[in-house]
Amino acid sequence: MSADTCIIYFGVRYDVTPDEFELIESKRDARQIAARRVGLKSYWGIFLGHDRKIKRLLFVGKEVAIFGPENLLSTKITPEHLSVIITETCEQLRLADFVGEVALHCEWLADI
């Protein structure tokens, strides 16, 4: 069973092609391997945009929260904890030579 979910990740976000998605689903994408090597996580999914077009996304960094009926319904993140997440993640991304805009990414994953 799946349900609508809100993903909150600090790190980089990549749009991926259907061909890349096969590697990502099997956790063999080079970005996932590099992330694991430096202690980062990845999250991938098929998202539905406002234009009703399907987006395949990969997030690399640290999971801040995942909200939804099958996940968290609420959480509290202190400024101190967020600061640690930002500092550690930026350093790990740098060590692994990740490119892309580093940010706090919030994405709605509709159950499609």
pTM of the predicted model as reported, rounded to 2 decimal places: 0.90
Residue spans per domain, the chain: 5-109
Q: What is the pLDDT of residues 30-75, one digit of tens each?
A: 999 999 999 999 999 988 777 778 889 999 999 999 999 888 899 9
> pLDDT value at position 1?
44
Torsion, Cα 104 18 44 16, to 10 degrees, reads: -20
**Cα-based distances in Å from 80 to 60, 76, 77, 83:** 21, 11, 8, 5
Work out the pLDDT band at 112, boundaries 50, 70, 90: low
Distance in angstroms (rounded) separating the CA atoms of residues 95 and 33: 13
